[in-house]
Amino acid sequence: MSTGITRVGVVGGGQMGAGIAEVCARAGLDTVVCEVNAVAARTARERVAASLDRAVRRGKLDRVAARDALARTVFTGSLDDLADRQLVIEAIIENPDAKTEVFAALDKIIEDPAAVLATNTSSLPVMRLGMATSRADRVVGLHFFNPVPVLPLVEVVTSLHTSAATVSAVEDFASRVLGKTVIRSQDRAGFVVNALLVPYLLSAIRMAESGFATAGDIDAGMELGCAHPMGPLKLADLIGLDTVASIAESLYAEFREPLYAPPPLLQRMVEAGLLGRKTGRGFHTYDQG
């Protein structure tokens, strides 16, 4: 199946969706990015173009390849434009109702009964999304990591209905076509990486919340004392504090373990719109220029 995948769709043109679209386009695939409207689609195009330009400036990509990648990517505000896609990857906000709605719509729009519908969810059940369609055997989790063009890992997450053929296809696609390293996970909240990572981030947030140490000292301690490339609060800011909170809520809802519960400080920061790098302020402040 995967050797025939040349037409890919991505629903959502934010940080993750744009990154997924970029790696698909750079791999030579006919790529369509769908956003909520034409204005958001133009913003998604600007996001991909800026990322490609950064790759050129850093010597990771030549200018002709960047130009060609952007040229083979179409940006649209209509899901109907995904009708001929062989693989569609959903990468919208971590909201179960919104994701379920997208999958139900894609099920009616996608023409090829053999097409695969994948979700980039960080923590929501793949089964729930599959059951919103008539093709649960073709629904799978395909979880990339931010920034997608840089980080080599993809988690493939299977529900109880996902077929072996679908798993084989997406694993081959992610590894052979996109050049990613694939690990498998069962359909449990957080999968492999976030089930381990998020309790660590929440512990750092609780430490800052209690006044035990400053955000700067917590991050410096883990960077310089444990050789982590980025401290936990800087990493939370990079991920987005709203995303961290959403993953924590999903983990807590599934396992009911106190270590997964989002701390009050995190909840207040999300309510205040202090989401990290993307808003210019989280546990640290960032230049938005």
Same domain, 173 and 73: yes
Q: Considering the domain boundaries, does residue 283 fall inside one?
A: no
Q: Considering the domain boundaries, does residue 284 fall inside one?
A: no
Q: Considering the domain boundaries, does residue 286 fall inside one?
A: no
Range of the domain at 172: 2-186
Give 156's contacts (C-beta < 8 A, 6+ positions apart).
140, 141, 142, 143, 167, 170, 171, 174, 182, 183, 184, 185
Question: For residue 41, which amino acid is it?
Answer: A
- Residue 214 has a CB neighbour count (10 Å cut-off) of 13
Give the residue from 246, 259, 137, 113 showing the smallest Cα distance to 196.
259
Same domain, 182 and 203: no
Burial class (CB in 10 A: 0-12, 13-18, 19+), 96: middle
The CATH number of the domain where 203 resides is what? 1.10.1040.10
Same domain, 207 and 97: no
Same domain, 211 and 182: no
Same domain, 260 and 182: no
Q: For residue 284, what are its two tokens?
A: 């640290």
Same domain, 12 and 136: yes
pLDDT of residue 2: 45
pLDDT of residue 67: 97
3-state secondary structure of 187: coil
Q: What is the pLDDT along the chain (289 residues), one digit of tens a residue?
A: 445 899 999 999 999 999 999 999 999 999 999 999 999 999 999 999 999 999 999 999 999 999 999 999 999 999 999 999 999 999 999 899 999 999 999 999 999 999 999 999 988 899 999 999 999 999 999 999 989 999 999 999 999 999 999 999 999 999 999 999 999 999 999 999 999 999 999 999 999 999 999 999 999 999 999 999 999 999 999 999 999 999 999 999 999 999 999 999 999 999 999 999 999 999 999 997 6
The CA R_g of the chain, rounded to the nearest whole Å, is 19
What is the tally of structural domains in the chain? 2
The CATH number of the domain where 70 resides is what? 3.40.50.720
CA distance 26 to 31: 10
Q: For residue 255, what are its two tokens?
A: 């396992």
pLDDT of residue 123: 85
- Last residue in a domain, options 142, 167, 186: 186
Give the residue from 85, 74, 126 showing the smallest Cα distance to 103.
126
Q: For residue 133, what are its two tokens?
A: 């369609």
- Last residue in a domain, options 186, 209, 231: 186
- Last residue in a domain, options 186, 215, 230: 186
Q: How far is CA 79 from CA 7, 109, 140, 282, in A?
A: 15, 8, 19, 33
Same domain, 164 and 273: no
Same domain, 40 and 146: yes
Same domain, 180 and 211: no
Same domain, 56 and 149: yes
CA distance 142 to 119: 6
Same domain, 116 and 233: no
pLDDT of residue 4: 83
Which of the residues are catalytic? Answer: 122, 143, 155, 194
